[in-house]
Amino acid sequence: MVGEAGDGMEAVAEAERTNPDVVLMDLRMPVLGGIESTQLIRQRLPGVQVIILTAFDDFGLRVAAEEAGAYCYLPKGSSAQLISHSILGARAFSA
């Protein structure tokens, strides 16, 4: 792990500061939500892949995350194996 953020704006700033391969992003955060934060990170740092990891397993949110440029959308109850596989897959696509 290279960083942690308490809200969406901090997440964007931390991504810009550290330029990670992969960001794990929640949807419901103060200041700026996960969809908007994902969109900003992908616009400013196109090589950074964002994985949405959230308690909300909702089709509309999945579509919004995809449109914002998220690599994938995982419910928080996902297995450790699926999360690990997703992170490695996203890392392979990072610039």
Dump pLDDT digits (tens) for 54-85.
Answer: 998 889 999 999 999 999 999 989 999 999 99
CATH C-level class of 8-93: alpha beta
| Of the candidates 89, 67, 86, the residue with the CA atom closest to the CA atom of residue 78 | 86
pLDDT higher than 90, residue 12: yes
pLDDT of residue 7: 94
SS3 91: helix
How far is the C-alpha of 35 from the C-alpha of 25, rounded, in Å? 9
Domain boundaries along the sequence of the chain: 8-93
pLDDT of residue 1: 65
How far is the C-alpha of 87 from the C-alpha of 60, rounded, in Å? 23
pLDDT 10s digits, 14-59: 999 999 999 999 999 889 999 999 999 999 999 999 999 999 888 9
